[in-house]
Structure 1
Amino acid sequence: MATVAFLGLGVMGSPMARHLAAKGHAVTVYNRTAAKAEDWVAAHGGRAAATPAEAAAGQEIVFACVGNDDDLREITTGAQGAFAAMRPGSIFVDHTTASADAARELAAAAAAGGFGFIDAPVSGGQAGAENGMLTVMCGGDPATYAAVEPVIMAYARSCRLMGPAGAGQLTKMVNQICIAGLVQGLAEGIHFGKRAGLDMEAVLDVIAKGAAGSWQMENRGRTMNQNRFDFGFAVDWMRKDLAIVLAEARRNGALLPVTALVDQFYAEVQGLGGGRWDTSSLIARLER
């Protein structure tokens, strides 16, 4: 069992830290809202720290899952950041969906401090975190990855090293590109079927077993048909991710016309007041 810290107890981080504690790891937690960390400790044990540096001191592995590049820099290299307190030979694992540039920057800073860094964004949403069934895409040194993979598996069903620092974040970008186009296609299909007078429950049941089948269809098709979006991965978060994707595409020259268009469709959903709706709410702009 490892001594670990977890920085960030949002809808993803809180259950991920819970799985670590349930597996017997000694967990220290930090959250920007201190009361949330105290509540977590009351429910799951361990210890709450007042700052990222205090949480990281003496730990073998420090995990993080925060909002964006700026949040990540604040908890790592900021005034009370974890990096200043990490001991040589320890490892920082970042589950934030952030830019590849931030991952490379922090990997270099970690190397200068004598400890390891793995960028490890996840896919599977809140349900995957709650159920310990996340897919984790990692970038970093192979030996460092090998040391943390067994611990990550406390909340993952799949974990793989994709390449050097930044490769995990780039893989997550591919994931979000694929999801964006797929959800838009599913939204248009359901919208078309309803306008055609079809029983969409029956349609989805049939086509889910064929070439059109997907995780999104199985898990979001029926709720899209019912116009239910009060759950899941928020549109605001997806737009943050797509901004990272489109910025990276501008740098590497990739052409992403569908992704750019769907990003604007999500902006329309935000305009409808759906910033916190699930990403499947793309259908709402077709049926308003």
Structure 2
Amino acid sequence: MAKVAFIGLGVMGYPMAGHLKAKGGHDVTVWNRTGAKAEKWASEHGGAKADTPREAATGCDFVFMCVGNDDDVRSVVYGEDGVLAGLETGATLVDNTTASAELARELDAAAREKGVKFIDAPVSGGQAGAENGALTVMCGGEEADFETAKPVIEAYAKMVGLMGPAGSGQLTKMMNQICIAGLVQGLSEAIAFGQKSGLDIEKVVSVISKGAAGSWQMENRHKTMNEGHYDHGFAVEWMRKDLGICLAEARRNGAKLPVTALVDQFYADVEAMGGKRWDTSSLLALLNRN
């Protein structure tokens, strides 16, 4: 059992912190910007809540963070009430936020200056993966630090891998989102094509999903897409944040992402339709609009 803090109790962080307590058996303290949610979590899971990130981190072996973006991470890490102010030498800071690789390297340097270990560890698997404790976790950091953190991370994960030095986890998550963007657009076009052709989409997918065209998106999203239901899953606005990170990194490293840039613009059009909080599979709604 370790003494653990979890910073950020959104749709991902809330169940992840719960698995650290229930499945991992750790002593968990939580902090959330909205204190009522931290109180609710502590009541449900029998853990503790703190009034500041620093208070949550004080005396902890591991601190996990899952917040919105680079600026949100900095706001809970730095300053007199920040996580780093509470962490002691030898502790480990794990950032599950999907953020930039640049930020990961910055946090790694800041942590090591204080004698703290750092792992960037963005996740994939969505809300369902978080609730089921079955996330894929892509890590960046030193191998020895990773091996120390891995058994704790496994409380909310089905796969945990070290991709390289600090920032490598975030770069891997970018690749993940680039793949998803292309897959969802291709699936949307295929379903739109099938609908126009008068095909039974369920029958078609039952066949093609078992071949080379098969994907998680096809297996898990084709039914709701065909029915025009998008009020669930990973929100368009979150995907646009992630794709923005991908495109910014591509400008730095010289990679060409023409399809990713195009799909990002399609998502902007979905937002303009009022679909900011729709699932990413709502690209089909754009194709089917009158």
Q: Normalising by structure 2, what TM-score? A: 0.99
Shift of 1:79: 4.0
Give yes or no for contact 2:54–2:80 (8 Å, CA) kept in 1: no
- Structure 2 match to 1:177: 178
Mean Cα displacement is larger for which, 49-58 or 71-80? Answer: 71-80
Q: Do structure 1's residue 151 and structure 2's residue 148 form an aligned pair?
A: no
Secondary structure in 2 matching 1:194: helix
Q: What amino acid maps onto 2:130 in structure 1?
A: A
- Structure 2 match to 1:246: 247
Q: Do structure 1's residue 71 and structure 2's residue 76 form an aligned pair?
A: no
Offset from partner CA, 1:134-164 (integer Å, 9 cap, x none) = 0000000111100010010001000000000
- Structure 2 match to 1:130: 131
Secondary structure in 1 matching 2:6: strand
Q: Do structure 1's residue 2 and structure 2's residue 2 form an aligned pair?
A: yes
Q: Do structure 1's residue 231 and structure 2's residue 226 form an aligned pair?
A: no
Secondary structure in 1 matching 2:155: coil
Give 4+ residue runs of structure 1 displaced > 3 Å after superposition.
none
- Structure 2 match to 1:207: 208
Give yes or no for contact 2:174–2:246 (8 Å, CA) kept in 1: yes
Supply the distance in 1 between the matched residues of 2:11 and 2:44 (Cα, whole angstroms). 15
Supply the distance in 1 between the matched residues of 2:2 and 2:233 (Cα, whole angstroms). 31
Supply the distance in 1 between the matched residues of 2:77 and 2:84 (Cα, whole angstroms). 5
Secondary structure in 1 matching 2:159: strand
Shift of 1:121: 0.1
Supply the distance in 2 between the matched residues of 1:262 and 1:79 (Cα, whole angstroms). 41
Supply the distance in 2 between the matched residues of 1:170 and 1:78 (Cα, whole angstroms). 27
Q: Counterparts in 2 of 1:187-206, with a 5 A limit?
A: 187-206=188-207
Supply the distance in 1 between the matched residues of 2:248 and 2:88 (Cα, whole angstroms). 34
Shift of 1:260: 0.1
Give yes or no for contact 2:237–2:271 (8 Å, CA) kept in 1: yes
Supply the distance in 2 between the matched residues of 1:205 and 1:187 (Cα, whole angstroms). 16
Q: Do structure 1's residue 96 and structure 2's residue 127 form an aligned pair?
A: no
Shift of 1:84: 1.1
Supply the distance in 2 between the matched residues of 1:179 and 1:78 (Cα, whole angstroms). 36
Q: Do structure 1's residue 163 and structure 2's residue 164 form an aligned pair?
A: yes
Supply the distance in 1 between the matched residues of 2:144 and 2:74 (Cα, whole angstroms). 24
Q: What amino acid maps onto 2:2 in structure 1?
A: A
Q: What amino acid maps onto 2:146 in structure 1?
A: Y
Supply the distance in 2 between the matched residues of 1:8 and 1:91 (Cα, whole angstroms). 17
Shift of 1:6: 0.2
- Structure 2 match to 1:282: 283
- Structure 2 match to 1:11: 11
Supply the distance in 1 between the matched residues of 2:192 and 2:8 (Cα, whole angstroms). 38
Supply the distance in 1 between the matched residues of 2:224 and 2:211 (Cα, whole angstroms). 20
Q: What amino acid maps onto 1:104 in structure 2?
A: R
Offset from partner CA, 1:206-245 (integer Å, 9 cap, x none) = 1111110000000001111111111110000000000000
Offset from partner CA, 1:41-100 (integer Å, 9 cap, x none) = 010011100000000000000000000000000110134110011000000000000000
Q: What amino acid maps onto 2:12 in structure 1?
A: M
Q: Do structure 1's residue 48 and structure 2's residue 36 form an aligned pair?
A: no
Q: Normalising by structure 1, what TM-score? A: 0.99
Give yes or no for contact 2:16–2:131 (8 Å, CA) kept in 1: yes
- Structure 2 match to 1:22: 22
Secondary structure in 1 matching 2:99: coil
Q: How many residues align?
A: 288
Mean Cα displacement is larger for which, 18-27 or 181-190? Answer: 18-27
Shift of 1:22: 0.3
Secondary structure in 1 matching 2:118: strand
Supply the distance in 1 between the matched residues of 2:82 and 2:205 (Cα, whole angstroms). 48
Q: Counterparts in 2 of 1:253-268, with a 5 A limit?
A: 253-268=254-269
Supply the distance in 1 between the matched residues of 2:30 and 2:46 (Cα, whole angstroms). 10
Q: What amino acid maps onto 1:250 in structure 2?
A: R
Secondary structure in 1 matching 2:98: coil
- For structure 2, list consecutive stretches of 5 or more residues without a partner in the other structure: none
Supply the distance in 1 between the matched residues of 2:152 and 2:250 (Cα, whole angstroms). 33
Q: What amino acid maps onto 2:48 in structure 1?
A: R
